[in-house]
Amino acid sequence: MKKANLNFYISSKTLSLNTLYDKIWSLHRVTELPEGSTQLFVGLHLIHEVTSPQAFAALDEKGLKVLCPERTIATVDHIVPTITQSRPFSDPLAEEMLQTLEENCKKHSIKFFKIGSGNQGIVHVIAPETGLTQPGMTIACGDSHTSTHGAFGSIAFGIGTSQVRDVLASQTLAMKKLKVRRLWFDGKLNQGVFAKDLILHVIQKLGVKDGVGYAYEFAGPAIDHFSMEERMTICNMAIEAGARCGYVNPDQITFDYLKNKAFAPKGNAWDEAIKWWKSIASDKNAIFDDEVRFNASEIAPTVTWGITPGQAIAIDSLIPSPESLEKSDQQIALEAYKYMDLKPGSSLEGLNINVCFIGSCTNGRISDLQKAAEIAKDRHVAKGVKAFVVPGSEQVAKEAEKQGLHKIFLKAGFEWRKPGCSMCLAMNPDKLENNQISASSSNRNFKGRQGSANGRTLLMSPAMVAAAAVTGAVIDVRKLINKKI
Amino acid sequence: MKQDTLFPQGSIHSVTGKCMYLSGNDIDTDRIIPARFLKCVNFDTLGNHVFIDDRSEKKGMHPFDQNHNKTANILIVDKNFGCGSSREHAPQALMRWGIRAIIGKSFAEIFYGNCLTLGIPCVIIKEEDASSLINFLNKNHDSIFKLELEKKMITSKEHIWEISIDNSSQRMFLSGGWDATKSLINQIEKIQTTKSNLPYINSFQKLQEKPS
């Protein structure tokens, strides 16, 4: 791997030319603001119950209206319980948040995908699967994992609540142009290695800071062969590498996915759309600010051992010693050993697990559940382990049930839940207790992230989580594939 | 907590007050305000819960609990402060606790932007200047400092330390333009022009159409 030169906050000049990012940026540029930032039009604005109420309140305080209500779509995901979703929710705060969202959507004529509508789910799962997310768009949402939508060749980024207010009021944002780094992947992933492993590997190699100031273009033969859902997994975690957005150029795989989706163009508009979508991909001679190259065939199943997504190792290697790390990473490594109660030089394989969580905007889609079900099939969750599967959306749940995946999980001793963000961030009843260790297909292993102040999270692919569930400990999933352990 | 302190407004040239230092690289937004406190429809009570897990672990010895820091309004941090979530709850929690400026070796990008939109300057200090400032602060907890955005420095009665801030953010604080909503809405005609030129809006996609 070739490491790039990194200059944070030093040079504001970007070199990139004719990349997808440059093209979409130019097309959505409204004007240059006097303070030196660019006013950028937001093509699709997604909102949910956590980061929108304060934005609507601020709008009311200023006596402003929603400028383009037809370009904003709402759903509820973070706070929904996943066992029973009957109203009112047992948590009055959660109920209040949902009611506030319902009232705001009604008042401002915003389309709301409510529970039971068939379209509710995690915002980064439902927008792609309904065809709202399309190539060439700028997409904003008050949630950092908005980078997910970049999988379609859109420029999608998370925003804060004040910016949600700005988008509601003006359908635009004040932004600065990012640099563009191309991450090139030769080769292809080996059996038992998944998109999640690829992105955890990237974050481990480049660190959680190196993407700051960059958009990441994921490209190369390995990415060309990825399905849309695999592309969503890697773009989803671009933000964990520090990059505000990540994207993949749109291609036939993108178009095939979008064809016949509810909000995708139809008839003549479809042909016109494809023509335009093809034109916004990075040109062959596009110039990038820099490039880092990887070989996908060298990547092993990857698991985090610490308290940042960059503190990860290949399953067949050992937890690093502080001396082997860069100086700036040593302090947080010491904090991580202590918090996780893990020793440098030890292996993660064999580490007992208390809770297994399959779901989230990173890995809660149908192909993720299929891969986990392949491992769960004809096996059983180990004694003392709590394992549960949370589909990313009502559509995912419906499809999984059509395929009988829920039966495989239930038979194997997993719980089959209703759609939502669940234990990825535990703003709902799904939480770790005390210092439990979870094997989780989600995206963040920060201290306290999964609902207990001393709860511990190991991030890994859904297949690896299923493997941990049935053996009761962290295990290299390749040992279970095609074998009966 | 100092909720009665006025929140930032208008042009911001300087921030004057006591400093406090919080050590550690990569302090993420979930540590600043754990996710379980995000269930709220307004930000009013967030200040009470800032760094709550770290604070209960340190039993009164956390910088946000130490007596000499109770009235501090300038926070000094290390590298990549505020990484993690895009949720504005983290800077909101710091602001509602009483923080009005942050001096650090580097910041996470979304956090930096969120602070800007709240009128909280995040400024960069070089490693050696940071050490000198922190050394001085450790011996002079009650010193009053002045962070000056135009002159790019922080001063105590006796000392001057250099800081840096990118030109665009600096202009936004000085002009009051950090409160972006107004300047964005002013461009309504240009917004409509940009919108009508987008192929996915003017030709092949109409969101308002019912899906078939």
pLDDT at B205: 59
Smallest CA-to-CA distance from A25 within A43, A46, A13 is with: A43
Q: How far is CA A407 from CA A250, A412, A415, B137, in A?
A: 35, 8, 10, 62
Among B40, B169, B190, B200, which would you mutate to test the A interface (most chain A Cβ atoms within 10 Å of its Cβ)?
B200
pLDDT at A5: 40
pLDDT at A484: 60
A302-479 carries CATH number 3.40.50.300 = no
> Do B176 and A157 touch, CB atoms closer than 8 A?
no
Torsion angle (degrees, nearest 10) of CA A93, A96, A102, A103: -150
Integer Cα distance of A5 and A18 in angstroms: 21
Set of chain B residues whose Cβ sits within 8 Å of the Cβ of A262: 211-212
- My answer on whether omega of the bond before A88 falls inside 30° of 0, hence cis, is yes
Number of A:B CB contacts under 8 A?
Answer: 241
Superfamily for the A20-293 domain: Aconitase, domain 3 (3.30.499.10)
pLDDT exceeds cutoff 90 at B35 = no
Among A9, A179, A457, which would you mutate to test the B interface (most chain B Cβ atoms within 10 Å of its Cβ)?
A9
**Angle, in degrees to the nearest 10, between helices B89-97 and B109-118:** 50
Q: Which sign, positive or negative, has the C-alpha torsion A459, A464, A469, A472?
A: negative
Contact call for A446 and B28, based on CB within 8 A: yes
> Do B78 and B108 touch, CB atoms closer than 8 A?
no
CB-nearest to A71 from B41, B86, B207 is: B207
CB-nearest to A51 from B87, B117, B187 is: B87
- Give the pLDDT mean for B183-205: 90
What distance in Å separates residue A190's CA from the closest CA in chain B?
30
Class for the domain spanning B14-178:
alpha beta
pLDDT exceeds cutoff 70 at B135 = yes
> Do A45 and A72 touch, CB atoms closer than 8 A?
yes
pLDDT exceeds cutoff 60 at B23 = yes
Integer Cα distance of A362 and A455 in angstroms: 20
Confidence of residue A2 (pLDDT cuts 50, 70, 90): very low
The answer to which of A58-62, A189-193, A252-256, A360-364 has the lowest mean pLDDT is A58-62
The answer to which of A207-211, A243-247, B86-90, B154-158 has the lowest mean pLDDT is B86-90
What distance in Å separates residue B142's CA from the closest CA in chain A?
28
pLDDT exceeds cutoff 70 at A84 = yes
Per residue in B10-21, pLDDT (tens digit) is: 899 999 999 999
Integer Cα distance of A394 and B167 in angstroms: 47
pLDDT at B207: 47
Contact call for A209 and B80, based on CB within 8 A: yes
Q: What's the distance, Cα to Cα, between the start and end of chain A in Å? A: 35
Per residue in A295-321, pLDDT (tens digit) is: 999 999 999 999 999 999 999 999 999
Integer Cα distance of A453 and A431 in angstroms: 10
| Residue B143 three-state SS | coil
Q: What are the boundaries of each domain within chain B?
A: 14-178
ipTM: 0.92
Set of chain B residues whose Cβ sits within 8 Å of the Cβ of A163: 113-114, 117
- Give the pLDDT mean for B91-105: 96
| Residue B22 three-state SS | coil
Among A7, A14, A31, A175, which would you mutate to test the B interface (most chain B Cβ atoms within 10 Å of its Cβ)?
A31
Q: What are the boundaries of each domain within chain A?
A: 20-293, 302-479
What H or E segment, with its residue span, contains residue B204? Answer: none
Nearest CA in chain B to A24: B198
Per residue in A87-131, pLDDT (tens digit) is: 999 999 999 999 999 999 999 999 999 999 999 999 999 999 999
| Residue B113 three-state SS | helix
**Angle, in degrees to the nearest 10, between helices A53-61 and A92-107:** 50
